[in-house]
Amino acid sequence: MPRITVTVDGVRYEEEVEPRLLLVHLLRDRLGKTGTPVGCDTGNCGACTVMLDGRSAKSCSVLAVQADECDVVTIEGLGRAAELHPMQKAFHTEHALQCGYCTPGMIMAAIDLLRDDPDPSDEAIRAGLEGNLCRCTGYCNIVRAVRRGAREMSGEEVRTS
Amino acid sequence: MSGTETRRSSRGVGESAPRPDGTLKVTGEFAYSSDLYLADMIWGVTLRSPHPSAWIRSIDIGPALAMPGVFAVLTHEDVPGEKFYGLERRDQPVLAVDQVRYQGEPVALVAADHPERARRAARAVVVDYEVREAVTDPRRAAFDPDCPAVHGSGNVLRHQPVRVGLGPAALEAPVVVTGEYEVGMQDQAFLGPESGLAVPAEDGGVDLFVATQWLHVDRDQIAPCLGLPAEKVRLTLAGVGGAFGAREDLSMQVHACMLALRTGRPVKIVYGREESFFGHVHRHPARMRYEHGATRDGRLVYVRAEILLDGGAYCSTSPAVVGNAASLGVGPYVVPNVRVDAYGVYTNNPPCGAMRGFGAVQACFAYESQMDRLAAACGLDPVEIRVRNAVSQGSRLANGQVIDSPAPLADMLRELAAMPLPPEASGGLLDMPGGVSQATRGEGVRRGVGYGVGIKNICFSEGFDDYSTARVRVELLGGEPHVLVHTAAAEVGQGLVTVQEQIARTELGIERVTVAAADTAVGSAGSSSASRQSYVTGGAVRAACEAVRERLDALRAAGATLAEALERSGPVEETRVYRHRPTFPMDPVTGQGDSHTQLALCVHRAVVDVDTELGLVKVVELAAVQDVGRILNPVALEGQIHGGSAQGLGLALMEEVVVSDGRVRNPSFTDYLIPTVLDMPPMKVSILENPDPHAPYGLRGAGEPPTLSSTPAVAAAVRAATGLELPRVPIRPHDIALSG
């Protein structure tokens, strides 16, 4: 069985994995990272989106062996209750979630889209989140939350630079 | 004598209080039913029928049982108690007994030490089927006496007529429009598939942690099947990844409990997306014939309608769905003469039951389509024809019931029509229908505007004993007063936990409130459906808080502070049951009866751009006006309206479980499309507060109405853009592009 080394939420793991094991199952079933849910099994819904070497990736569409030597950040590595990531805070504040099942992936996709466009228009936010489905909110509050998250993140950069 | 301090809480009723589960949901710590884990748990898998209709000659579990890692393989012979369950009729087998009636019907269960081993073992179970003719045409099922019966006694589950007026010449009018309409089978498509964990208990009972909408009615169906008394089947709500009606019926509940009791191990079952499409009921597909008669100036004289709802293989909630379709079948309009016949039928298609809007959605698409046809026939504006016929407080609905709370439909329509329209299309390629696929440069693109109106009954109807229970406890925690609210009401994402907290803060003037996990250790809260929980569980929490407050006031009579009084008295706890006004059955012949306790209105305007050559639709904007009586939480309410509108848009343009010959052709999110963020436009929402004097705080249930009216509004807008009749939703690209 292939042996991989992968860093997840800042912790380095060495794991023996079957070649066909999906990254999302490595995260959930081996490492207990259940904050990353599975919604569709077919790469459509984006609920399982994580950061793979800094870019968002649907972890149901990545094999664990492909994550060898990679740095993975899940929703659980993004922040903690006491110090939420600005995007987490924005989703909470703007009521951008109901059942919350899409939220981890949605937040990851939102952070990734800000990397390319730190001050996105509503249209750019919508284009950037197209791969993530939400069944509860009708997306209106999600777009608002990403706008707020973007503002707060740029503000933070100003303060720290 | 001053009461408990009722200082206004910034997180009380009427405020946009934050969700108590919000932090957990943005950090990934919230435990959905699919996340549950016990060290010694094993995995359950369901073997399902590939055939929509067949006899089962034999089942050989031997090969599966012999496989490594397999703990148990069960069939109907292993069901410890009753072999059948169901919400309205116990007609659905826990596991198929000698025959299967729909594709995907559970036939056998496997428990193994790994889900993949369990799946492999399930494939090794040998089932010998004798395939027979499947009944798949609901019209034939309803009206052809030679059609085979899906169950023993006829295929009509319920026929509910409505008869109003109908004196001589009642069905004659100067302007008559007719139409035949169809609504496809919609899936709730919640994002978190069915799952749960059953843990065998030392007392011979079982503890089940599950994502559901109604803990007590789950328990009341599970316990008899397990041959256990109700008190030995304890349910706790696990995190729910959306519901929308699909979790009102049982899915894996009995199965997981059976496997756990048989193996003595905790058993977890998690459906994948494909299995989820087979694991829950869908929205009833409908075929409807309507005839509207009106005066030349557009005032309704009569409505005739036949509404045929395909209930599929098992009853589920079909009779109640038929009741809604019948009683609300002409919409929120004043109609002197009504002749409606609504039918629900058994077929070998997938079972249908609850989905947001529950029978009112299908009829709404048809009667609103008719109103537009009538407007055209009378030369009137679509808004004007609706205003002329709109109900208001004091109007009589088709079931004879007088609307006894505000229903300002005409005003809502006028406000909606006065909202500014969105600007013309920018001409940018990404703004075109088809978006990034750049299917057009603007040639063939037409804009259309359409309106839709919907009326939905709130809470359970037709005499159902509809109640909720709340236990409220005030005590000192760390020297400070604290409120614990305990109900069995299912938080499915709608924000009910927030509302319970808000009510407790407002009623008791205490900021620190915790809502306990929902479970069966407290009385039933009824279902998180029919837009009813703010009303009924909200009412129960308020009543329990009032009872606690009375006791606290008495304890503080001597002028002590609340903390001092609680120090002396210890915890103060009260439990209350809240019922809404009684409702009454519909007369089986005339459909008359005060069958609803509350009615809610929503109106939508849709603006669309249609690529008429390729049949692609871009919804540019949705605008809505809804009267909610009293706003409990503005931001949460807006979220409900946005989300409900999106599901209505989905039904109008893309969502359909495609069934042919009884087989589902698209059980995946690759082929069953729900709106993405690019499909769902920004919304303008106006919320009115005309209180219902009969309801707690004057509130009116809000979750479902927007799902009704957005569908006909979008369809009307596409018709306006294309000039096509489009009598069916979802409107598919080929319905537009190949119409010529």
* Candidates B30, B636, B669; nearest CB to A42: B669
- Spatial contact of B450 and B456, defined as CB atoms under 8 Å apart: no
Give the pLDDT confidence of B562-584 residue by residue, as tens digits: 999 999 999 999 999 999 999 99
**What pLDDT does residue A159 have?**
41
Q: Alpha-carbon distance A60 to B670, whole Å?
A: 14
Mutate to test the interface with B, among A139, A142, A146, A147 (most CBs of B within 10 A): A139
Does the beta-carbon distance from B643 to A136 stay under 8 Å?
yes
Owning domain of residue B427: 282-461+587-737
- B83 with B99, same domain? yes
Residues B298 and B267 in one domain: no
Is B605 found in the same domain as B485? no
- Residues of chain B positioned with their CB less than 8 A from the CB of A93: 18
Q: Return the pLDDT at B665.
A: 98
pLDDT band for position A156 (50/70/90)? low
State chain B's mean pLDDT as an integer: 96
Q: Among partner residues B18, B26, B244, which is closest to A103 by beta-carbon distance?
A: B26
B402 and B501 co-located in one domain:
no
- Within chain A, how many helices (H) and strands (E) appear? 5, 5
pLDDT value of residue B674: 98
Tens digit of pLDDT for each residue in B469-488?
999 999 999 999 999 999 99
Nearest CB among B29, B274, B680 relative to A138 is that of B680
Number of domains in chain B: 3
In chain A, domain spans: 3-77, 86-160
Q: What is the mean pLDDT of residues B130-153?
A: 96
Is the pLDDT score of B2 beyond 50? no
For B518-545, the pLDDT digits (tens) are 999 999 999 999 999 999 999 999 999 9
Contacts of A133 in chain B (CB under 8 A): 191, 669, 674, 676
Interchain proximity B676–A130, CB inside 8 Å: yes
CATH number of the domain within which B494 lies: 3.30.365.10
Chain B contacts of A74, Cβ < 8 Å? 28
Same-domain check for residues B300 and B372: yes
B621 with B714, same domain? yes
B411 & B473 share domain: no
Site from B36, B213, B677, B678 to mutate, A interface, most A CB atoms within 10 angstroms: B677
**Two tokens at B429?**
């390629």
Are residue B371 and residue B261 in the same domain, yes or no?
no
Query: From CA B210, how far away is CA B458, in angstroms rounded?
Result: 26
CB-CB contact of A88 with A77 (8 Å): no
Residues B666 and B609 in one domain: yes
pLDDT in tens, A11-57: 999 999 999 999 999 999 999 999 999 999 999 999 999 999 999 99
Least confident of A134-138, A153-157, B253-257: A153-157
**Alpha carbons A46 and A142: distance in angstroms, whole number:** 15
pLDDT band of B431, cuts 50, 70, 90? confident
Sign of the C-alpha dihedral, residues B367, B373, B376, B378? negative
- Asked if the Cβ–Cβ distance from B493 to A99 is below 8 Å, we say yes
Cβ-defined contact of A34 to B31 (cutoff 8 Å):
yes
pLDDT, tens only, B152-210 = 889 999 999 999 998 888 999 999 999 999 999 999 999 999 999 999 999 999 999 99
Provide the ipTM. 0.96
The pLDDT, as a whole number, for residue B439 is 87
Taking the Cβ of residue B647 and every Cβ of chain A, the question of whether any pair is shorter than 8 Å is answered with yes
**Chain A residue closest in CA terms to B194:** A39
The 10 Å CB-count burial string (b at 16+, else e) for B377-396 is: bbebebbbbbbbbbbeeebe
The pLDDT value given to residue B8: 64
pLDDT at A81: 63
Domain match, B710 and B599 both: yes
Contacts of B638 in chain A (CB under 8 A): 95, 140-141
Contacts of residue B19 in chain A, CB cutoff 8 Å?
92, 95, 97
Decide if B32 contacts A97 (C-beta within 8 A).
Answer: no
A151 CB burial (10 A radius; 0-12, 13-18, 19+): middle
With beta carbons less than 8 A apart as the criterion, state whether B737 and B676 touch: no
Length of chain B: 740
pLDDT at B5: 45
Is residue B145 domain-resident? no
Whole-angstrom distance, CA of residue B697 vs CA of residue B598:
14
Q: Do B271 and B303 fall within a single domain?
A: no
pLDDT in tens, B371-411: 999 999 999 999 999 999 999 999 999 999 999 999 999 99
Q: Tell me what the mean pLDDT of segment B47-76 comes to.
A: 98
Which class does domain A86-160 fall in?
mainly alpha
- Please check whether residue A2 touches B, CB under 8 A: no
**B350-370: pLDDT as tens digits:** 999 999 999 999 999 999 999
pLDDT of residue B584: 98
CATH of A3-77, one of 3.90.180.10, 3.10.20.30, 3.40.50.300, 3.40.50.2300: 3.10.20.30
For residues B442-457, average pLDDT: 96
What residues of chain A lie within 8 A of the CB of B24, using their CB?
Answer: 100
Using CA atoms, how far residue B72 sits from B204, B275, B365, B551, in Å, is: 18, 21, 48, 54
B:426-455 residues touching chain A, CB 8 A cutoff: 430, 436
Q: Which of A135, A137, A143 sits opposite B189 (nearest CB)?
A: A135
Amino acid B648: pLDDT: 98
Compare CB distances from A81 to B19, B27, B32 and report the shortest one's residue. Answer: B27
Are the beta carbons of B642 and A38 separated by less than 8 Å?
A: no
Nearest to B191 by CA among A130, A135, A142, A35: A135
Out of A62-71, A72-81, B277-286, B309-318, pick the least confident. Answer: A72-81
Separation in Å, CA of B614 to nearest CA in chain A: 21
How many Cα atoms within 13 Å fall on the side-chain side of residue B153?
Answer: 4
Secondary-structure percent of chain B, ordered helix, strand, coil, rounded to 5: 30, 25, 45
Q: Are residues B423 and B518 in the same domain?
A: no
Residue B75 in any domain: the answer is yes
Chain A residues inside the 8 Å CB shell of B193 = 38-39
Sequence-ordered list of residues with C-beta below 8 angstroms from that of B335, at least 6 positions apart, any chain: B164, B300, B302, B303, B389, B398
Element (H, E) at B198: strand B195-200
